[in-house]
A and B are shown apart, each in its own frame.
Chain A
Amino acid sequence: MPSPIVISDYREETGSSRSTGATEIERQSEHRAVVHERSGRQEGKYVVLGPNELYPFAEVSDATLFQAIQLTGECISSLGETLGFDPNDFLSIDSKLIQVRVTLRQLFALRSIGDGFGAVVNGCLWGLKNKDTETVSRRQIAALKAVLSEVKRKPLMHFDTAMSLLDDLESVDLSPEPDTLSDLFGPVPEDEQ
């Protein structure tokens, strides 16, 4: 059974409880009514579904999920701002990309949300890391923005969905994995055996 805080938090985010001027106690009892209605024990006017209701098997708290959605939104917003800059204004572009990288690292710390989420954030981090001193093109920034918009929309995505998003990054020459991967973890080369 999902935590009750979940739904009241969600309503605060959307402002639905505030609009009725409810106190915290009233909000919690309202939540209980919602839960009861869903379990068929009490009639009510409406049902508010939070992520835990929509994804009952996800092993992640709503707080983490909301944090991830908020941070992903920040990333998308920063990338959008970057696209608005003069392409020759490297300093402004890179300053925004620094923010994006920092936020992506914070997002990676939330990878318990799921392997799909973790894989995309990881791919975005490596995509930017592998560019190193090279300039990130507008096309690549747009691709990152599109990929992260999908993450924001579907943070609990399956790994297979994540794979196709990483293919989108690869299609604009953003390599979403470490170059050393096969050297480190691949089979021993024949001449070394």
Chain B
Amino acid sequence: MSSDCCFLDTTVLVEALFKAEARRKSARASIRSYKRSVLPVYAIKEMQLGALKHFIWAHNKLSETASFSTTLRAIQRIFMKPYLQGTALEAMQVGAELLVGSQLSLAQTRSETDAAMADAFRFSLRRRIDRGWKERRKLTTETADNLTCFAETAPRFNESTKLIEIDPQGCSLEDSCCLAAKLRQRPKDLEALLKAIEGKSRPEDNKRRQTLHLLKNTPKREVSDTACRALGDAYFALRCPTDCAILTTNVKDHSVLAGALHKKVDQHKA
């Protein structure tokens, strides 16, 4: 720990809200180890459009297909998660033990078992989504940097379709990004960040570079929701208070940008 205050990035927020129990507890303990902990609303926005959206999709897929195995195949195909093979097999085994451990169980056919497993995971996902959203602002001593263009809409369960809906997502309250004006007042910092990622060619660096250029060089052009999201780690480097350290699971990426603005980065080991 390099500071008395931490500025949460999205990776730690997701760890503390959505991961397995042991990891959730570990992330929460990390946050509590600081006297002061600050959650920027930007992290909530990234969480809503990332992990939360992903969980909602999985919930709705289980609901639509009523099949655990079909949903897993869809996940493996769409998200190319071949490494999930082992975990998926383990989950199927555990799920089968849970629900058909006895011939007295009413789920006796393969499809009934598959549907029962889908529901077992769907209920758990719905709970995780519900709890994660409700607890998002309870993890830190304060929430900061409110975004007036971000509605922070809660996910809601549609009783008739059995689907979880979240609408609107992202920033929709204002035409232009509410952060843009604040960030444009810091051209030197924007320049420093551009220098820090000079020559880097990962897709996220390219998108970040475009937004940083947009902010620095074209003051009259509007910054879209997509451009705002592309800022990513650069946002945390720019907005982290000077007496705080960015708390993240991904020190490697944050160090490059935070270092350029002489901000500290602390690692939470997931």
Contact = CB atoms under 8 A, between A and B. Distances in A.
Contacts of A183: 20, 84, 87
A110 B106 CA distance: 9
Given A178-B91, A187-B51, A105 B125 contact: no
Interface in A171-193: 175-188, 190, 192
Given A184-B75, A188-B81, A108 B124 contact: no
Interface residues of A, number: 36
A115 B120 CA distance: 11
Contacts of A177: 124, 127-128
Interface string A96-115: 00000110011011110001
Contacts of B104: 102, 105-106
A59 B37 CA distance: 46
B130 interface: yes
A187 B90 contact: no
Contacts of B120: 108, 122, 125-126, 178
A interface SS class: helix
Contacts of A188: 79, 81
Given A108-B116, A163-B127, A177-B124, A184 B105 contact: no
B128 A181 contact: yes
Contacts of A108: 99, 107, 116, 119-120
Contacts of A160: 130
Given A185-B121, A186-B19, A180 B83 contact: no
B125 A181 contact: yes
A129 interface: yes
B20 A179 contact: yes
A98 B59 CA distance: 30
A176 B127 CA distance: 10
Contacts of A119: 123, 126-127
B260 to A, nearest CB: 21
Nearest to B21: A175
B75 A102 contact: no
Contact residue range for chain B? Answer: 35 or more
A166 interface: yes
B interface SS class: helix
Contacts of B51: 186-187
Nearest to B97: A129
A66 interface: no
Interface string A119-140: 1001101100100000000000
B95 interface: yes
Interface in B86-108: 87-88, 90-91, 94-95, 97-102, 104-107
A125 B23 CA distance: 22
B58 interface: yes
A1 B47 CA distance: 45
A180 B250 contact: no
A118 B20 CA distance: 21
Contact of B101 (A101, A123, A175, A179): A101
Given A105-B104, A125-B120, 16 more contacts: A102-B102, A105-B98, A105-B102, A105-B105, A118-B123, A123-B127, A126-B120, A159-B126, A160-B130, A178-B95, A178-B120, A181-B121, A181-B128, A185-B55, A185-B58, A186-B51
Interface of A: 101-102, 105-106, 108-111, 115, 118-119, 122-123, 125-126, 129, 159-160, 163, 166, 175-188, 190, 192
